[in-house]
Chain A
Amino acid sequence: QSVLTQPPSVSGALGQRVTISCTGSASNIGAGYDLNWYQQLPGAAPKLLFFGFNNRASGVPARFSASKSGASASLAITGLQTEDEADYYCQSHDRRRGVVFGGGTKVTVL
């Protein structure tokens, strides 16, 4: 069981908005540690999307946004595109376990 909790899957129609949550605790996000997001396209290595909660990495389209609320974080995709079908992972630091990832969320475009 992952220290950071993500929904296993989310789906949306082309052009719609989807959000992915990442819920932590007082030993990671709630303790003030940064939260990062990664995208893994099918058959490819992961790629950094956001770091420090909402700092967009180089080349990431503006339809992606990220935010934080307490011990949780969210990734939103506005105007969903077919090329956004991928697995998305959140990642932070945990006082007890070191670097931790969420379990991942598969985004499907209907």
Chain B
Amino acid sequence: EVQLLESGGGLVQPGGTLRLSCAALGLDFSKYAMGWVRQAPGKGLEWVSHVSASGGRSYYTDSVKGRFSISSDASNNILFLQMSSLRAEDTATYYCVKDRRQSGSECVFDLWGQGTLVTVS
């Protein structure tokens, strides 16, 4: 069964750092763009970042540019989100997502993990 398993969430103080991981099981990582979508408690979905299948192109929402960095370990099928200078407004459940496509700025997220909660307080 293909699935995405996130880890690394937790409680962190404002200004702190955290690294989220996403293990892609049963999936050929090198074939798809991957990314992160977050959801603040009781709020809607917000795209955070995604990276092309090759890892050559990455995209970020404006509010996290310069603070978050997306990367991947293709040999182990793991996606990362390095978060720094965290703010209270970054508090959310972070979902790892798989794109139907290999690359490009348009996305279709056809597989979602169960999410990992990040609390900045």
Q: How many residue pairs bridge A and B at CB < 8 Å?
A: 63
The complex places the Cα of A93 from the Cα of B109 at a distance, in Å, of: 12
Question: Please, how many residues of chain B have a CB less than 8 angstroms from a CB on the other chain?
Answer: 23
A42 at interface, CB cutoff 8 A: no
Question: Please, how many residues of chain A have a CB less than 8 angstroms from a CB on the other chain?
Answer: 25
The complex places the Cα of A47 from the Cα of B110 at a distance, in Å, of: 7
Contact residues in A for B108 (Cβ distance below 8 Å): 34, 36, 48, 51-52
Main secondary structure of the interface of A (DSSP, over half): strand
Contact residues in B for A38 (Cβ distance below 8 Å): 45, 109
Whether A51 pairs with B61 at a CB distance below 8 angstroms is no
**Within A31-69, which residues are at the interface with B (CB < 8 Å)?**
33-34, 36, 38, 40, 45-48, 51-52, 57
- Of all chain A residues, which has the CB nearest B100? A51
Whether A101 pairs with B112 at a CB distance below 8 angstroms is no
Contact residues in B for A45 (Cβ distance below 8 Å): 95, 112-115
* Cβ-neighbour of B47 out of A33, A52, A57, A101 (below 8 A): A101
The complex places the Cα of A100 from the Cα of B48 at a distance, in Å, of: 10
Known contacts A45-B115, A51-B100, A101 near B46 by CB under 8 Å: yes
Whether A102 pairs with B44 at a CB distance below 8 angstroms is yes
Q: Least Cβ distance of B30 to chain A in Å?
A: 21
B59 at interface, CB cutoff 8 A: yes
* Cβ-neighbour of A2 out of B44, B105, B109 (below 8 A): B44
* Cβ-neighbour of B105 out of A52, A57, A98 (below 8 A): A98
- Of all chain B residues, which has the CB nearest A87? B44
Known contacts A34-B106, A48-B108, A89 near B50 by CB under 8 Å: no
- Of all chain B residues, which has the CB nearest A34? B106
* Cβ-neighbour of A104 out of B44, B50, B107, B114 (below 8 A): B44
A24 at interface, CB cutoff 8 A: no
- Of all chain A residues, which has the CB nearest B44? A104
Q: B residues touching A (Cβ–Cβ < 8 Å)?
A: 37, 44-47, 50, 59-62, 95, 100, 105-115
Known: A36-B109, A45-B115, A89-B44. 11 other contacts (CB 8 A): A2-B44, A33-B106, A46-B37, A48-B108, A48-B111, A51-B110, A91-B45, A91-B107, A99-B105, A99-B106, A101-B45
